[in-house]
Chains A and B, each alone.
Chain A
């Protein structure tokens, strides 16, 4: 079997192109289906890694600190992101806690850890141990990360509860806002580009 590294195929319509050389920040759309199919990020590997590590720190804050605090008739209560999804596990909808935990907590964390792992090696032009598996996982995980949906969910909840409770946004909410921006930044560059930036130590 042969491979053709000078070609590229649009994954949305199967049109074949010669692989173009792109400048950072430049992208091309498919002539046939108009899908944006190749894009080179403005971030270089060092910036990418730095942002990934920053998001990991913010992620910890967003998960440990309370996102909302409510008071009702002199009673107080507060919740963290983790406690919210765990709340689904009580009552008749236990099953729903699984996808909620995965999309809001597990998948984003896994995404940051795996991305950090390959980038750490990619800075030196090397492929991290497990590179193949990690790269495939990153492609699979991407659509299941829902941090931005969680952020809007928190805001809607605040408005919903503000009608009959005293609601105070917590540190965790601000951290979620920052995390949403950072996560979008680190998750949008095409990870497939890392294949051409690195060389394996052993022959594939």
Chain B
């Protein structure tokens, strides 16, 4: 690994909000503020790992009812049925819309599961302070940051469809509880990823 100095070794902190590099407050535990923008400076986000873990567990728990409960309820010419996320994907696949089935599968299943695994991996490795695959872990973190919010897709689809199909007794679509858990899961994973301090990946033993 290169010999480039790190901020905490030099006793400085880079402000996360404006980028100014300020002197770290030394041994005192008092929080300092950035001289330029006034944001609270932390060498490392306080309680980063435990908060990220808590939010990640909450998200994984939310993901269970999100998949088991119906996300919307369809009333069509007298016959009514509820459909889950998985049923929605299968329906698209069977009707021949493979592309759309893949898009929804990616946003609702692949992305959330990948996020659980990646955030979990980042947390375990950061906890052990291992030098293993640091560059690759940094890449995974940036990936999670960038793709995370796409899971919100299903929530918006349900919103739009439910908003449109309102034809009294003929046809009516309503959102159902599953989508609430699903949306909650997306927000919790986003918060978990934001709580994780990527600088922790680089702390600990050198190679």
List A residues at the B interface (Cβ < 8 Å): 1-5, 7-17, 31-35, 67-68, 70, 72-73, 75, 77-79, 83-88, 90-93, 95-96, 99-100, 103-104, 132, 135-136, 139, 143-144, 146, 149-150, 152-154, 156-157, 159-161, 163-165, 192, 195, 204
B202–A33 CB distance below 8 A: yes
Say whether B90 faces chain A, with CB atoms less than 8 Å apart: no
Chain A residue contacts of B141, Cβ below 8 A: 12
B21–A3 CB distance below 8 A: yes
A4–B21 CB distance below 8 A: yes
Say whether B121 faces chain A, with CB atoms less than 8 Å apart: no
Given contacts A72-B171, A87-B163, contact A103 B152 (CB under 8 A): yes
8 closest Cβ contacts across the A-B interface? Answer: A9-B14, A87-B163, A153-B156, A33-B138, A84-B163, A157-B160, A7-B21, A93-B180
Residue of A nearest to B182 (CB): A96
Contact with A along B1-31 (1 / 0, CB 8 A): 1101111101011101111111101000000
Kindly list 12 other residue pairs between chains A and B, CB separation below 8 angstroms, not including A16-B4, A35-B142: A1-B35, A11-B198, A16-B21, A77-B164, A79-B160, A87-B162, A103-B152, A136-B17, A149-B152, A157-B161, A195-B19, A195-B36
List B residues at the A interface (Cβ < 8 Å): 1-2, 4-8, 10, 12-14, 16-23, 25, 32, 35-39, 76, 92, 95, 97, 100, 103-104, 134-135, 138-139, 141-142, 145, 149-150, 152-153, 155-167, 170-171, 174-177, 179-180, 183, 187, 190, 194, 198-199, 201-202
Considering the chains assembled together, what is the distance between the CA atoms of A86 and B100 in angstroms? 25
B7–A14 CB distance below 8 A: yes
A3–B36 CB distance below 8 A: yes
Given contacts A8-B19, A13-B198, contact A32 B8 (CB under 8 A): no
B162–A77 CB distance below 8 A: no
A192–B100 CB distance below 8 A: no
Contact sample, A vs B, 30 pairs, CB 8 Å cutoff: A1-B35, A4-B22, A8-B21, A9-B13, A9-B14, A10-B14, A11-B14, A11-B16, A12-B138, A14-B7, A14-B199, A14-B202, A32-B1, A32-B4, A33-B198, A72-B171, A73-B167, A75-B170, A77-B165, A77-B167, A84-B163, A85-B159, A146-B149, A146-B156, A154-B156, A156-B153, A160-B92, A160-B157, A161-B165, A195-B20
Residue of B nearest to A15 (CB): B4
Nearest Cβ on chain B to A170's Cβ, whole angstroms: 11
Contact of B179 among A31, A70, A93 (CB under 8 A): A93
Given contacts A16-B4, A35-B138, A90-B174, contact A9 B167 (CB under 8 A): no
A96–B155 CB distance below 8 A: yes
Chain A residue contacts of B145, Cβ below 8 A: 143
A34–B12 CB distance below 8 A: no
Chain A residue contacts of B170, Cβ below 8 A: 72-73, 75
Chain A residue contacts of B183, Cβ below 8 A: 96, 99-100
Chain B residue contacts of A77, Cβ below 8 A: 164-167
A70–B164 CB distance below 8 A: yes
B104–A156 CB distance below 8 A: yes
Nearest Cβ on chain B to A179's Cβ, whole angstroms: 15
B159–A84 CB distance below 8 A: yes
